[in-house]
């Protein structure tokens, strides 16, 4: 049974940092692990993805490049999103989103095999 659980959100001032974690239970099919976010009145957007197959790779949205890093610890079944230099526009609910898609599609997906409850990130100016 698939399961994900996000944690690590909180309230910080602009310029601050947070590290989100996602502990997951997946099958061998879900090799594209991603973080999405959604703020009120806006569409859900992909923030970062990492492919954990033989051919690895990462993807970051332009809005977070140079500030966010996605990483993965297979021994702990945990996905991370390290967020530095946070801006008020980063305020959103962040979701861990694994997908059973190819490495070529990873980073372009708009959905996931399972969604967690999310963890709230609030950045004040």
DSSP 71-109: EEETTTTEEEEEE-S--GGG-EEEEEEEE---TTTTTT-
pLDDT digits over 74-104, tens only? 999 999 999 999 999 999 999 999 999 998 9
Alpha-carbon span 59 to 42, nearest angstrom: 21
pLDDT of residue 63: 96
pLDDT of residue 55: 78
pLDDT digits over 37-66, tens only? 999 999 999 999 999 977 788 999 999 999
How far from 123 is each of 10, 18, 49, 73, CA to CA, in Å? 8, 10, 22, 27
Q: What is the dihedral sign for C-alpha 86, 7, 74, 62?
A: negative
pLDDT digits over 103-122, tens only? 899 999 999 999 999 999 99
């Amino acid at each position: 049974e698939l399961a994900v659980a996000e944690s690590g959100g909180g309230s910080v001032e602009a310029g601050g940092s947070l590290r989100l974690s996602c502990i997951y239970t997946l099958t061998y099919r879900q090799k594209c692990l991603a973080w999405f976010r959604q703020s009120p009145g806006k569409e859900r957007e992909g923030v970062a993805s990492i492919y954990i197959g033989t051919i690895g790779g990462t993807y970051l949205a332009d809005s977070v490049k140079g500030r966010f890093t996605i990483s993965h610890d297979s021994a702990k079944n945990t996905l991370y999103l390290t967020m530095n230099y946070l801006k008020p526009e980063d305020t959103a609910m962040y979701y861990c989103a694994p997908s059973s898609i190819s490495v070529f599609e990873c980073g372009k997906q708009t959905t996931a095999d399972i969604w967690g409850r999310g963890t709230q990130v609030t950045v004040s100016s």
